[in-house]
Amino acid sequence: MTQKFGKPIVSTSANISGEKQPKQFSEITDKIKNNVDYIVNLHQDKIMKIPSQILLINKNGRVKILR
């Protein structure tokens, strides 16, 4: 996906540092939702068992979980 896009894809976590990690879209604060460029319209009503993760994927496709 990043090769087609031609640029890195970056994201923030869905919470502010120190705040509760949301397990569903409705738990994400308006402060976060109102300050992002784009929100993916996918599974917004689904309750997640684990919080979101931040990944680093290198040029070789190796994945490292950052958070």
Buried b (16+ CB within 10 A) or exposed e, 8-32: eeeeebbbeeeeeebeebeebeeeb
Q: What is this structure's pTM?
A: 0.56
Per-residue pLDDT tens listing for the chain (67 residues):
667 778 777 776 788 888 888 888 888 899 988 988 888 887 788 887 877 777 888 888 899 988 7
Residue-range definition of the domain harbouring residue 6: 1-66
Instruction: Please state the domain count of the chain.
Output: 1
Q: Enumerate the β-bridge partners of residue 64.
A: 56
CA angle 39, 42, 47 (to 5 degrees): 105
Residue type (1 letter), 17: S
